[in-house]
Amino acid sequence: MNNNSPRKIQITAALLLMLALFPLLSLATDTRLMTDFSTALNDWAERSFAGNTTYSIVTLDGKEVLQAEASGTASALYRETRIDLQQTPFLQWSWRIENTFGPAINEQSKPGDDYPARIYVVRRGGLAFWRTKTINYVWSSSSPANQRWDNAYAGKNAQMWALNSGDNQAGEWITHTRDIRADWREAFGENIDSLDGIAVMTDADDSGASVRSWYAGLSFLRERPAGQ
């Protein structure tokens, strides 16, 4: 696949515009906590960039979770909502993968910009769409955990942040709790008190490979749970 094609450039531009326009209408602050997708999936919309990742609610380990299957495809589930980080500064979720793309993939290059699991938080730049910024928390195939880098297509305004790496924990549920304001200061050197959206994405369009992953328990919390 030619990853420098006009189609791929158009996809990248569409991604930036989607993030920049979170949301177009003035929305009141959403003080609800986001819980399992099975109870609130209708609140999410899908945006396709290269075919459609298949998102569905399945039962796994006795609970309903979001399953994502990508085979040379890339689409995101996103939710446009104002999130008050002064009230709920912590983002928690669990994810699980079947496999990564292997250690040979270079995720910091355009041909390797694929992730079996990612969750990204967005702060829009209004009409100045180039000021829109996002942190992408990812399960990396080849980059070590805790490493952060500029997205290969979107540049420094889209920070990729590896939380898990490789296949050693494939098949296991891993739970993360992130202090969004602290992460934002580290990534961008800015203090923020709100977000404009959140998205989930499993993508394999650059590699053309196939991956499957699961997500559960996505919530904004007022306090960090004990022991985390």
Domain containing 116 — which CATH number?
A: 2.60.120.260
CA distance linking residue 211 with residue 71, whole number of Å: 7
List, in order, residues 6 or more apart from 64 with CB less than 8 Å away.
Answer: 36, 37, 38, 57, 58
Q: What is the pLDDT along the chain (228 residues), one digit of tens a residue?
A: 444 444 444 444 455 555 544 433 333 333 344 555 655 577 788 888 889 999 999 999 888 899 999 999 999 999 888 899 999 999 999 999 999 999 999 999 989 999 999 999 999 876 556 678 999 999 999 999 999 999 988 899 999 999 999 999 999 999 999 999 999 999 999 999 999 999 999 999 988 999 999 999 899 999 888 876
Is 226 domain-assigned? no
Distance (Å) of CA 97 to CA 49, 128, 223: 21, 36, 27
Q: 190 by DSSP, 3-state: which?
A: coil
Is 228 domain-assigned? no
**61 forms bridges with which residues in the sheet?**
none
Q: What is the pTM of this model?
A: 0.86
Question: In terms of Cα–Cα distance, which of 104, 81, 103, 100 is closest to 91?
Answer: 81
CA distance linking residue 94 with residue 66, whole number of Å: 11
The reported pLDDT for the residue numbered 26 is: 32
Q: 218 by DSSP, 3-state: which?
A: strand
Backbone Cα Rg of the chain? 16
DSSP secondary structure letters along 28-85: -B--SPP--HHHHGGG-EEEEEES--EEEEEEETTEEEEEEEEES-EEEEEEEEEEET
Q: 209 by DSSP, 3-state: which?
A: coil
Domain count, the chain: 1
Is 146 domain-assigned? yes
As given in the structure block, the two tokens for residue 117 are 């699991």
Q: 134 by DSSP, 3-state: which?
A: strand
Is 227 domain-assigned? no
Q: Are 133 and 158 in contact (CB under 8 A)?
A: yes
Is 96 domain-assigned? yes
Is 186 domain-assigned? yes
Is 33 domain-assigned? yes
Q: 18 by DSSP, 3-state: which?
A: helix
Domain residue limits at 207:
6-221
The reported pLDDT for the residue numbered 43 is: 76
Distance of CA 67 to the CA centre of its chain: 14
List, in order, residues 6 or more apart from 161 with CB less than 8 Å away.
Answer: 135, 136, 137, 138, 147, 148, 183, 187
Which residue in the block uniquely carries the two structure tokens 């007022």? 222
Is 56 domain-assigned? yes
As given in the structure block, the two tokens for residue 93 are 């979720």
